Amino acid sequence: MSSFTHCHTLRPDPDPQTDPFGLPGNSRTLEAVLPHDMGNELNTAARHLASLRRVYKKSCPVCGTEFEGIAKRVYDSHACQVKAYRRRKKERTAGQ
């Protein structure tokens, strides 16, 4: 007999009343680790940390638009980021 048989207990089939998704195993792990009440505190803490970031005035290298962003932000929009990527990609293929 293995020593592992006594360590593990099997969970009964999920009850549709308490577990609407009917997932086998321990589907309530997140609730055990992170209660619903703490979710709001984490959101508040994340927003507070985001508000402490320094904001700089910058200009987009693609379109020249002035914008405010954190230190690592380079482009004012996703469209400009894609345009810059395509230009770099085109230059790489042209140089070969």
Record the tokens describing residue 9, joined without a space: 């207990």
Distance between CA atoms of 56 and 72, rounded to whole angstroms?
10
Walk along the chain (96 residues) and give the pLDDT tens digit of each residue: 444 444 445 555 556 555 555 555 554 444 445 555 566 788 888 888 888 899 999 999 999 999 999 999 999 999 999 999 999 999 999 877
Prediction pTM value: 0.50
Rounded CA-CA distance 31/52 in Å is 30
DSSP-derived secondary structure letter, 13 = P
DSSP H or E segment with residue 32: helix 29-33
- Cβ-based burial of 52 (10 A; exposed 0-12, middle 13-18, buried ≥19): exposed
The alpha carbons of the chain give a radius of gyration, in whole angstroms, of: 26
